[in-house]
Amino acid sequence: MDSYNYFRSYKNYFWQWEDNGEVIAIPDEATIAYKNQVVEILERLAPQGLPPFGSLLLAIIATNANADAALDAVYVRITRFMETTDDVVLAKAMIFLKRLATMPQEYKQGDKRALLLQVLFKGCHNINSIKDSKAAYEFLKSGSLPLDSPVERVAGDTRELKIIALMDSRFNSVDLIIKAIGGLPDKDQIEIDFDHTPGENSSAQPDLDLIDQLIANSTTFTVGSLVRWLWGGLNIPVHSALPSAQPLGGISDLTNKGDFDKLLVSEFANDDLFFMSRLANNEALYIHREIPPAHNDLHRIILIDASMKCWGTPKAMAFATLLAIAKHPKTDIDCQAFVLGAEKYYPVSFENMHTIIDAMDIVAGTLHCSGGLAAFFNDHGKDKNKEVFFITEASTLKQGALLKTMTENHQHIHYQVLTDVEGNIDVYKRHKNSKKHLQHIKLPLDTLWKKEKPKKVSRSAIKETKSTVGIYPILIRDAGHAKKVLVAPNGQIFQVSGNKAIFRFYDKTKEKHAVGWDLVFENLPFNTNIAEVGLSEKGEYVFLLFNANTREVLLVNISTGEKQRLTFDQWRSNGTHSFIFETGKFVHYHPGGAWTITLDGKVDAITTWEIAKFKARADELAAVANKYTFNTGVFKNIHQVFINSAGQLIFNKHALMLEATDKSIRFLQSSDRAVKINARRISDVAFEFPDGSLVEVNRLGLITLKSSTIAIPAVYVPSLIDSPLGVATLYRFAGNEFYYKEPLFEIVLQNAGPQLLATIKTIRANSEMSLKEVKTLAENTPAVLPVYFKEQSAVEIKEKLEEIQAEVEVRRIHHLESKMEKISTTDFFGQHIAAFIKNILDHGA
């Protein structure tokens, strides 16, 4: 890293040096930081390596006092620089920076701010070495600055943004960031030593947090709980040094075989006849000089069989073995992993819990993986400086095709690891033309996979990490397999789907066939048809979901993403609707008693309740479900994506095309299935073309096209066959109005003002809220009105409230949305979908 260029500014970028290098500022906007402040921050970060300077400045901006206004200015400047506002990386980065801006004030100043930055950038992508980081720190501290004219930055360079965007998945809540800060040592305990570079200390501890995360997650518990046990039992070399008995070389042994120049000198002291007799009988002694130890650049490759015999327990054992080898506390060998399918192999990452889950989702519906194994060795078989581990279930070796492929590549497979459903692991090592059994391990699965029963909790709830609600610029045809249709107290209609998601009917003023559903929450932990929805005093929708098998209540605030869990053992089926919402609480009854659950998870017993209210609620929801449930088949079982000889984008047998007669965009069956460029399946829901372009399939009813070229924005397409579709980017829409996500606004009452009664009357007259609801809301400001408005209506209400001195804010539901431009389907198809296809074809030309 060149220290001079590290601090160099760029033309038309979001930051620049001012006041002869004493200040870093947003051009024509606010100050970001003074040079001395940055020097202090670099001093703290240098021992762990510095991130790109622009990434660091973005984090500093987000922790400044004027963060919100400054981030808006940064967003405007970056979109101008990138010449697009339609970029997922930018959107995710801004979401995380806005989250960072909401950190408690104590974490945005002084020593805690430095700790915050340490946590955020520890081990980030594109991090600089400690040596280069020290040089950069000394360079800035000395006062040397690149104050000459700013240079041009490469168009489309989003490296600094990507680092921030990746933090959105690592730290998806403020609580998680604070928890990570709590795990850092105090600054006085940190010894700054610039003489080491990353990777020098082979005995350094691995990222143990990853194993803990795997154990804590129900999806990966079976894998994570085995790793540490395997560290103690698996006998696999952790270093790649060539062995020797004497670390520095020398004479290690005497032998009776060898060259005459190695003959022991004392042998010549014997007479000729005795000497010849010793030679003839191999009794003469020779010096064996040992080869000094040497290091090599060994690269480990771990291949995991994904065929049917390897599903379930063998799969968990295979991934645990992968992590035990690759993440061993003392290993210094570079490691790479691939999952083998029926005919292909898939590179996978094991750097975090999410990539491991994605890798475990790859399955092959065949009895063996001979095709995938052969494909791998066809591409990588000539690399001699590698050590290959092949992990499979023991019975798959009975498959003739797999044995044939293994025999043909015997010289390339160094280790075989065989597992079974009983927890047995057998490790074999290649030995000449056969294999040698190294060890047998029996994993005590019953013990290792025995989870401690959680303590019963009924009086207080356990708060969980906040989830980020996905932002999609388009509506979906229907929720699909609705488990429960609910009506909120303000009349808003929701569906809890069998796909573990929550949908909102976008505009309750329209007929059900006139407008689609908005996906507002994904990845619920379980499916259920026992649910209810309530409204907080601030106008936030809170869902109660109940798991009858575990007696677990999940409270989900879809406005903030916050989830709370509690065990509710008092539940019994009452033969009608289990929960209702009234007076700000959820209520449950059965013949043995009744209880309330507050929105923050507190449970209390009550002595009086009205059974009629539960029956009336059940009748109400049955009528609404009958009206709004109209499941349409969603195109989600997509197993192949390619471009055919006619240049059409094909999904299985259907082409995404512009229909010739009515100019609608549809999925239509295609007779041309000749593959010109194929997209390889990289996960259960994603396909990748050779140029890096992605096709992502959301099984809830949406397909996303993400081009490898930043100038082509992501395209969102509803997954419905042979039906006129509405299609969109983040800022453009074309086609069927049913899918159009017309911008809606919410009103935030910051202060009811001196005329409380007038404020209540104004809100009551311009919304469907009851008098009691409005009064509660006005007395507990700031609060969000639980009603969505069209832009003109929201502005008019704001003006009326401001006339009586109330403080009001009007904001879009999603702060990154802007008004969508409507264009023709012909223009949209040509400018976005056809451009996506052409970019792939040009790469393959």
Q: Tens digit of pLDDT for each residue in 602-639?
A: 999 988 888 889 999 999 998 888 877 665 667 777 88
pLDDT value at position 295?
47
Q: Tens digit of pLDDT for each residue in 156-173?
A: 567 788 888 888 777 877
**Candidate from 260-274, 304-318, 708-722 with smallest mean pLDDT:** 260-274
pLDDT value at position 188?
40
Query: How many helices and strands in the chain, by DSSP H and E?
Result: 23, 42
Average pLDDT over residues 486-514: 83
More confident residue, 745 or 840: 840
Residue 236, judged by CB atoms within 10 A of its CB (0-12, 13-18, 19+), counts as buried
Mean pLDDT over the full length of the chain: 81
Between CA 414 and CA 430 the distance in angstroms is 5
More confident residue, 804 or 29: 804
Highest mean pLDDT among 198-202, 801-805, 829-833: 829-833
pLDDT value at position 490?
80
**462-628 architecture in CATH?**
4 Propeller (2.110)
pLDDT value at position 467?
42
Q: Provide, rounded to the nearest whole percent, the portion of the chain with pLDDT above 90.
A: 20
745-812: CATH topology: Ribosomal Protein L30; Chain: A, (3.30.1390)
DSSP 124-140: -TTPPPHHHHHHHHHHH
Spatial neighbors of 733 by CB under 8 A, at least 6 apart, are 473, 474, 726, 727, 739, 740, 741, 820, 821, 822, 823
Residue 187 has pLDDT above 60, yes or no: no
pLDDT value at position 519?
86
Residue 450 has pLDDT above 50, yes or no: yes
Q: Tens digit of pLDDT for each residue in 766-792?
A: 876 778 778 888 888 888 777 777 777
User: Helix (H, G, I), strand (E, B), or coil: what is residue 294?
Assistant: strand
Residue 715 has pLDDT above 90, yes or no: yes
Average pLDDT over residues 326-341: 84
* Residue 700 neighbours by CB distance under 10 Å: 21
Residue type, 531: A
pLDDT band at 469 (very low <50, low <70, confident <90, very high): very low
Residue type, 187: K
Average pLDDT over residues 418-423: 90
pLDDT band at 138 (very low <50, low <70, confident <90, very high): confident
pLDDT value at position 354?
75
Between CA 832 and CA 838 the distance in angstroms is 10
Between CA 365 and CA 639 the distance in angstroms is 12
pLDDT value at position 581?
94
**Phi then psi for 463, rounded to 5 degrees?**
-80, 145
pLDDT value at position 838?
93
Residues in the chain: 845
pLDDT value at position 716?
93
Average pLDDT over residues 287-302: 64
pLDDT band at 845 (very low <50, low <70, confident <90, very high): low
pLDDT value at position 209?
64
pLDDT value at position 596?
94
pLDDT value at position 185?
46
pLDDT band at 828 (very low <50, low <70, confident <90, very high): very high
Between CA 158 and CA 93 the distance in angstroms is 10
pLDDT band at 701 (very low <50, low <70, confident <90, very high): confident
Q: Tens digit of pLDDT for each residue in 574-584?
A: 778 889 999 89
Closest CA to 147 of 18, 46, 333: 18
pLDDT value at position 196?
39
Average pLDDT over residues 84-101: 78
Average pLDDT over residues 409-417: 89
More confident residue, 491 or 642: 642
Could you tell me whether strands 493-497 and 502-505 are parallel, antiparallel, or unpaired per DSSP bridges?
A: antiparallel
pLDDT value at position 296?
54
Highest mean pLDDT among 45-54, 140-149, 259-268: 45-54
Bridge partners (DSSP) listed for residue 667: 656
Residue 202 has pLDDT above 50, yes or no: no
Q: Where are the domains of the chain?
A: 3-189, 221-239+296-448, 250-294, 462-628, 641-741+823-844, 745-812
More confident residue, 268 or 694: 694
Between CA 625 and CA 845 the distance in angstroms is 52
Average pLDDT over residues 337-363: 85
Residue 102 has pLDDT above 90, yes or no: no
pLDDT value at position 633?
62
pLDDT value at position 416?
92
Cα distances from 122 to residues 48, 184, 326, in angstroms, run 7, 11, 20
pLDDT band at 293 (very low <50, low <70, confident <90, very high): very low
Residue 308 has pLDDT above 60, yes or no: yes
**Candidate from 45-59, 656-670, 772-786 with smallest mean pLDDT:** 772-786
Residue 304 has pLDDT above 90, yes or no: yes
CATH number among 2.20.25, 3.30.70, 3.40.50, 1.20.1050, domain 221-239+296-448: 3.40.50
Residue 244 has pLDDT above 60, yes or no: no
Residue type, 468: T
